[in-house]
Structures are given as structure tokens and as C-alpha cells.
Amino acid sequence: MKKLLTLIFTIACLYAKAQTTEGESYSSKALTIGPEFNATVKSIYKYGYGAAAKVEWPITSEAEVTLSAAYNRYFYKNSDGYSSAWPPAVFIPVKLGSRFFFVDKVYGDLDLGASIGTNYDKQAAFIYEFGVGYILPAGKHSGLDVGIRYERWGKTVLKQAVLKVAYRFNW
């Protein structure tokens, strides 16, 4: 599965790069920063939240390369499904990806990366994710980036749906 996702990601990036031509004017680079809310699926964690930052570099008018990092806290479930008294698990995911604009301001993301546990399990887990979002303009060089995505960390570590609301700065 990892090889298939890596192949799809590579082909998508090469296709996007192949669409560039000299003399075109693309959108500016952007930085998004904001909170994330994580709903886990069949996990030892009940829920999570955190903050993330993403840098976007345009390749064409419809495609971008992205690099993101986050700080996430996950709260454990106890045997009856409610949050336990254990301190939360903390992870730092780092991802490289691509963003494709379907129509103006509506996009799809595909990212690959690793998540590193900082307090209990200090091992890294492979991450793949895909999602969709919308950019609400808030000024000439800024906007609100609202999106939802599905993430999977390793085979058994974590599956989750993530809602993000981030402020986007263009430069």
C-alpha cells in the first residue's frame, strides 16, 4: 500500500510539474497556520486536537507542493470508552504533499510523511492523507482555509478524520 501511494504521489507531482511553461504567472507562495480537531476511528484515543502550519509553493495555477508540520495531543479512552485519567499522547507529524485546485478556491490535498511520538512511544509512523478544502478570501493577501481530511498513521497506530480552520497568508 505504501508503494502504491508513493507511486501515485510521484506521478501526480511529475504531472503537475510537466504542465508548467515559461512565462506563466502563478499565484504567490502561502503559509497557513491554525487549529486542528481530530476525530479518531477505532483507536485507543478518544479524540485529539492541535495546531498546524503548512507552506505552499505554486507549480502551476492549479497545483502546489506543500510542506506541513503539526503538534497534536490525543486523549486516551478507558475500558468503557470515556477519556481516561492518563496524560495525553503527543505527536509531531511532518508531511510533504501536493495540492490541486479543482475550481477557484476549492482544492484537494494528498500528503505523505511521518509522525513522531514525543512522550510515550517515540517511534515514527508512516502517514498518508487525502482531503478537500475551500479558501475563503479575507483580503488581498489573506484568507481562511477550511478543510477536512482522512489520515492513516502506520498499519495500526491511528486512523482519523481531521477538521482544520487555518489563516492563510500569501507572499
Instruction: Give the model's confidence band at 98: pLDDT under 50 very low, under 70 low, under 90 confident, else very high.
Output: very high
Q: Which CATH fold topology does 2-20+27-170 show? A: Porin (2.40.160)
pLDDT single digits (tens) 117-159: 998 767 889 999 999 999 999 888 899 999 999 999 987 778 9
DSSP the chain: -HHHHHHHHHHHHHHHHHT--TT---PPPEEEEEEEEEEESSSSEEEEEEEEEEEEEESSSSEEEEEEEEEEEEEEB-TTSSB-SSPPEEEEEEEEEEEEEEETTEEEEEEEEEEEESSS---EEEEEEEEEEEEEEEETTEEEEEEEEEEEETTTTEEEEEEEEEEEEE-
What percent of the chain lies above the pLDDT cut of 70? 81
Q: Domain spans of the chain?
A: 2-20+27-170
Model pTM score: 0.80
